Amino acid sequence: MPRSDPPAMEADYVIVGAGSAGCAMAWRLTEAGRSVIVVEFGGSDAGPFIGMPGALSYPMNMRRYDWGFVTEPEPHLGGRVLACPRGKVVGGSSSINGMVYVRGHARDFDHWDEAGATGWAYADVLPYFKRMEDWHPGLHGGDPDWRGKDGPLHVTRGARSNPLTRAFVAAGEAAGYGATADYNGHRQEGFGPKDATIWKGGRWSAAEAYLKPALRGGRAILVRGLASRIVIEEGRARGVEIRRSGRTEILKARAEVIVAASAINSPKLLKLSGIGPGAELAAHGIDVVADRPGVGENLQDHLEMYIQMTSARPVSLYRYWNLFGKGYVGARWLLTRSGPGASNQFESAGFIRSRAGVEYPDIQFHFLPLAVRYDGRSAVKGHGFQAHVGPMRSPSRGHVRLRSADPAEAPSILFNYMSHDEDWRDFRTAIRLTREIFAQAPFDEFRGVEIQPGQGVRTDDEIDAAVREHAESAYHPCGTCRMGRADDPGAVVDPETRVIGVEGLRVADSSIFPRITNGNLNAPSIMVGEKAADHVLGRGMLPRENAEPWIHPDWRTAQR
């Protein structure tokens, strides 16, 4: 039996999770003069596998850095078990992700506000995106009035020197979608350069941007251990129980406890602490502190297919896909922080609408000048390219539930992917629209044969079968501690990120998203940490900015 290790450590705030939002909160709270203890189970983020952008497929597949979560057999994907990587390392998932930086569309946040997260409309959150950014557009233009400068988070763009990368944007324009110089600015819809959290050739994680400055300032302490429960006395959170080195310890919070442990671990920790659906807690012998049926529900993600082609010209990154090539890329990066290793290679983006009547984009593209999977395995022995594509706003919802009351046991995760007819319709459309883009003239000199789904896959039934067999998670879980009105029985936190029914406790990470945003989730997760810090400090919000986003003037009647 683990033994206690008094005396307890104590700070104004205890933050569980050194990920995207937790790191941001640690910096903003210490900047305001508060003391903070940050609890992180994972280890150091030092080393080339995390630091080198071009090595992104490695850390998300290494148990040293990843919790190694997998789903339950997904009933609508033929019973497949899918990977659900989450960062188990300082910096959390910002240390193992693909470094793609997407705020989300303005209308995403307007929907949050309308759904009960009052004060989280785009006019409310835009100032926080600007506060956190240090944006470097390079030679590609953009919307500086919509972007931040001098914030802690460096956001840059790749060189876009590969002709395939440029051909993708040209093909999108040729197909009639138009260009956007900055999808994080006035206009998301269209094709253009992609933003990334990369700085001076290296990954710029939330740990680099926020946590390490907070630790250097002396008001933050990083404690490595497994958070086993929130200590709640008389309806108020008083601290966090952790396990480390065979001991159980209590980290005391004089003011509040803040859970920022991910869309998987945050609901798990709340449930272990007696906050969640009463029947589920009782089944595991956990005393109910607050019966909140929404804890662990509303799980969402982006699902995507890789539309892969062979390249008729030897211009893809496959030239480095051998022992000598990888050695060259690694050595060049280690010595000069330059070359292919200094980019995540996601350098061109696309956002389009699936059909007329959709107000703003609901399909996202990630283009890569190589045919490869996230696990690093090449799809073809030769040159190729691919676009990751999938619907952005699936109506499917899943859940995160306890397997037992043991904090060391992974939870049960079911996304329930493709559980609506709308999912299948939208996926077929996304695949066919991608094929149309690859068929445009800018790809004529490069276009080979389709590898996946394959040139013979044409009918609805054939495409559905391919999706069922090959669709993969984009690793964007969210929504499991949904933010909403305090009187909403399905909400877990109120619009100030306070857990409903427990004093002195907040949740601030992607788990509080009412609905998934349009694109990758690192940027909005950091924004949540930034804005939640101001709620915690009680010093008022940044002034609203009523910037109106570009919406296609004929969206009701035209698809492009």
Token pair for 173: 């324009």
| Residue 476 known to be catalytic | yes
CB-based contacts of 126-131 (< 8 A; 24+ apart in sequence):
126/544, 126/545, 126/547, 127/541, 127/542, 127/543, 127/544, 127/545, 128/527, 128/530, 128/531, 128/542, 129/103, 129/184, 129/523, 129/527, 130/545, 131/530, 131/542
Q: Determine contact, residues 549/111, Cβ cutoff 8 Å.
A: no
Q: If DSSP states are collapsed to H, E and C, what string results for 224-282?
A: ECEEEEEEEECCEEEEEEEEECCEEEEEEEEEEEEECCHHHHHHHHHHHCCEECHHHHH
47 annotated among ligand-binding-site residues: no
Query: What is d(CA 557, CA 336) in angstroms, rounded to the nearest whole number?
Result: 51
* Residue partners of 192: CB distance under 8 A and separation at least 6: 140, 169, 179, 180, 181, 182, 183, 348, 349
Contacts of 495 (CB under 8 A, 6+ apart): 116, 117, 118, 119, 120, 483, 484, 485
Annotated binding-site residue? 305: no
Strands, DSSP E only, in 17-84?
36-40, 69-70, 83-84
Is 9 assigned a ligand-binding role in the annotation? no
**Catalytic-labelled residue, pool 302, 383, 476, 535:** 476
CA 492 – CA 275 distance, rounded (Å): 9
> Is 70 annotated to bind ligand?
no
Q: Is 99 annotated as a binding residue?
A: yes
Which residues define the annotated binding site? Answer: 89, 97-100
Which residues define the annotated binding site for FAD? Answer: 89, 97-100
Active site residues: 476
